[in-house]
Amino acid sequence: MANSASVVAAYRDLRESLATLGDGTGDRTRAVTLRQRALVAGELAEQCDGAFADREVPRGDQALTEATSARQLADEADGNNDATVDAAIRSAGQANTTLNGILRETTIANSRSAPIMDRFRGSLRVSPSEPGSPAALRRESVSPVGGKSAHGGSPAYVASVALLFPTEAVALFPIGRSLASNSGIGLAIIIALIVTFIVVLRYFATQDEGGESPAVKEILIAVFSFLLWVGSLKGFWIPGGTLNIGIDAELGSGLFGFATIMWVAIVPYFVRRPTEPII
Amino acid sequence: MPKAVAFTLFLGLSACAADIVRLEHAGAVSTQATATVNAARAYLFDVQARRREANIALVASDPGCSWGSSVTTDTAWLPPRSFCDVRGIPENRRVKISLRPVSEEALKGIAVTIAGIAAYQGALADVLDEEPVDAKGGLTDAIDKLTTASADINRIAGEKLLDLGPLTSNRAKAVVNLIGTLVELQQTSLKVDKVRGVVARLTPAPLYDELIAGAAKLSALQDSNSTTRLRFALDYAYAQEVGKLSFDTRRDWVRQIAASADEDATLRKARLQALSNVVERLAKSDQSLRDTLAGKFTPEERRRIARENRTRILSLLSQVAAVFPPI
């Protein structure tokens, strides 16, 4: 991969070299062809700049190498030597085809995945992804669900509770337990499945705008909250099952329930939300 | 006149003459910022206009192309095939050439810097355009009412209970003028405080570099692409038609091609340089404003401040003397 700035610069330079060679080429048809390659190289540079804006370009290295090589051929070509001009034309065409292919693939990939992923990313995130990032700014505008907004100077507590407590898993567990019946192994599998679901869902839903940096702390909190909840529903006490942890089920359930409420009430304060306006 | 009054006046005046210089600098920044915003907008407008002309020429260069949001060509295109004919060409070789204006995304950086500078100019202009309170008018009205009231009281009482005679004459006028001048001094000082607030709150210096960098990028990529398109369109159309043209038509055509070639480097650099010059002047004016607000004046400004102070002190002393002639 190569940074889009370097790819854009390489194709911009290629455009210039081709245009210069076009100026010095005696054969009119070849001169026009060189200008077409220059036009396409410039257009692709523009598209690449718009599509990647200083990010890494997939297969950008290949495009960069081909553009640099084509530029070199154009710089070294003699305008009155048809063979060298043709070599420059071919090489530029190849470089243009490569970058065009990359851009087409990106466009198709984005059109397939971007809308849903864009809505999904960050939807369950509590802590700011990065100061000033679009995701952080968007969260600022939607954060006050019940509590004060971040602009108000204190955490949006109710929103944080709702985001950190895995309600989807809490709803799933009773169904899973009835499926497992009295099988300890079955219940262990159900719990493992639900934990996996929590982790996978939150891995993507707590990513920042760029699809990176999931909020690991928040994922762990959600998993721990779920495990406490399982205890409060006597999930660790299967009559005759292997998960019986040796404490009376009623007492254990009560203790887990108490711990769950305490945990859910306190934990939002340990996940930092932005407390000052970012802009 | 008490010495304390003169001393107080002197202190007030020292600040005042400097404040006038500061306000002049703020005015210069406001003017330069307006010029910069206008120049940057005109630059963007030019970029879009050239792109449109290039696109029109591109479509017109080949009967096989038609106007729309884009035309599609082959990355390995070879004449005499039509530039826009991509039948049978594999997908990865089909490249779309956009015929839309330069995208908003590409202009976003430069547009944001323009908006930032415009906001700075707007905030300064708000302070500078603020109308001063008409203290003189209010005072004259008050004195008129007081004079009328005293005359009425004296008439009703049948004797001179209140002697406000001197206030209705030159002395009243002098009092009004003196207070008016002092209010003016105070308002100048208040304006400078507000300018100081604007300058502290908005720091546009990084925007100047951003604006030039954004314009340079636009020039090197999008604007230069427009030139490449235009040049291709002219060369391509000429190559197709040259055999059918008369000498005069060929000459006109070649003239256009030559103009397009000149456009390539010289004019583009000149346009960018013109914008850079305006921004440079704004940056200098802004720095001068910040210097004067920090009390750093040029020797020439110091001399001017001293001269203005003398003039104003004399003027004020004469106004004070007019208030207390009989004392």
Helix (H) or strand (E) holding A64: helix A60-76
A30 burial type by CB count under 10 A (0-12 exposed, 13-18 middle, 19+ buried): buried
Report which of B42, B27, B30, B10 is spatially closest to residue B271, judged by C-alpha positions: B42
Q: Closest approach of chain B CAs to the CA of A99, in angstroms?
A: 9
Residue A137 CB partners (closer than 8 Å, separation 6+): A278, A279
The type of residue at A218 is E
> What's the domain count of chain B?
1
| pLDDT for A53 | 81
Q: How far apart are CA A88 and CA A77, in angstroms?
A: 7
Interface test with B, best of A15, A23, A39 (most B CBs within 10 A): A39
The type of residue at A194 is I
List C-alpha distances in Å: A223 to A128, A198, A264: 20, 7, 12
Lowest mean pLDDT among A100-104, A158-162, B30-34: A158-162
- Stretches in chain B below the pLDDT threshold 70: 1-15, 132, 135-136, 146-147, 149-170, 264, 323-327
Q: Closest approach of chain A CAs to the CA of B92, in angstroms?
A: 5
Residues of B in contact with A44 (CB under 8 A): 95
Section A112-123 average pLDDT = 62
Section A108-137 average pLDDT = 58
Coil, helix or strand at residue A257: helix
Q: What is the DSSP string of A165-219?
A: S-HHHHHHHHHHHHHHTT-HHHHHHHHHHHHHHHHHHHHHHT--TTS----HHHH
Residues of A in contact with B235 (CB under 8 A): 22, 28, 31-32, 35
Lowest mean pLDDT among A106-120, A210-224, B4-18, B292-306: B4-18
Interface contact flag, A104 B92, Cβ < 8 Å:
yes
| pLDDT for A71 | 96
| pLDDT for A265 | 82
Interface contact flag, A42 B77, Cβ < 8 Å:
no
ipTM, two decimals, is 0.77
| pLDDT for B223 | 92
A153 burial type by CB count under 10 A (0-12 exposed, 13-18 middle, 19+ buried): exposed
List C-alpha distances in Å: B131 to A98, B18, B134, B180: 64, 20, 9, 14
Q: What residues of chain A, 63 to 92, have a C-beta less than 8 Å from chain B? A: 90
Interface contact flag, B77 A8, Cβ < 8 Å:
no
| pLDDT for B247 | 92
- Whether A97 and chain B come into contact, CB under 8 Å, resolves to yes
Report which of A71, A76, A207, A35 is spatially closest to residue A135, judged by C-alpha positions: A207
Q: What are phi and psi of B73, to 5 degrees?
A: -130, 175
Identify the DSSP state of A234: T
Report which of A260, A37, A277, A77 is spatially closest to residue B236, judged by C-alpha positions: A37
List C-alpha distances in Å: A225 to A163, A252, B260: 12, 16, 69
For residue B305, give its domain range.
Answer: 3-323
Q: How far apart are CA B181 and CA B177, in angstroms?
A: 6
**Four-residue CA torsion sign, B104, B106, B107, B110:** positive
Contact of B133 with B187, CB cutoff 8 Å: yes
Contact pairs from chain A to chain B, CB under 8 Å: 90
Q: How far apart are CA A188 and CA A38, in angstroms?
A: 63
Residues of B with CB under 8 A from a CB of A: 73, 75-79, 83, 91-95, 97-98, 103, 105-106, 220-222, 224-225, 228-229, 231-232, 235-236, 239, 242, 261, 264
How does pLDDT run across A162-174, given as a tens digit for each residue?
777 788 788 888 8
Compute how many other C-beta atoms are within 10 angstroms of the C-beta atom of residue A277: 11
A32, A43, A101 member nearest B239 (Cβ): A32
Report percent pLDDT > 70 for chain A. 74
Q: How far apart are CA A226 and CA A220, in angstroms?
A: 10
Contact of B223 with B268, CB cutoff 8 Å: yes
Q: Closest approach of chain B CAs to the CA of A170, in angstroms?
A: 43
Q: How far apart are CA B62 and CA B142, in angstroms?
A: 82
Coil, helix or strand at residue A129: coil
Question: With bands split at pLDDT 50, 70 and 90, how would you rate the model's confidence at A245?
Answer: low
Checking DSSP bridges between strand A56-57 and strand A2-3, what pairing results, if any?
antiparallel
Q: Closest approach of chain A CAs to the CA of B220, in angstroms?
A: 8
How does pLDDT run across A22-54, given as a tens digit for each residue?
999 989 999 999 999 999 999 999 999 988 887
The type of residue at B170 is N
Ramachandran quadrant class, B2 (left: phi over 0; alpha: psi -120 to 50; beta: rest): beta
- Whether A36 and chain B come into contact, CB under 8 Å, resolves to yes
**Which range among A61-70, A143-152, B21-30, B173-182 has the greatest average pLDDT?**
A61-70
Q: Give the start-end residues of each E strand in chain A.
A: 2-3, 56-57
B221, B228, B239 member nearest A28 (Cβ): B239
| pLDDT for A62 | 94
Three-state SS for B11-41 is: HHHHHHHHHHHHHHHHHHHHHHHHHHHHHHH
A31, A42, A47 member nearest B235 (Cβ): A31
CA-angle at B303, arms to B300 and B309, nearest 5°: 140
Q: Which residue has the tokens 């030039």?
A: B212
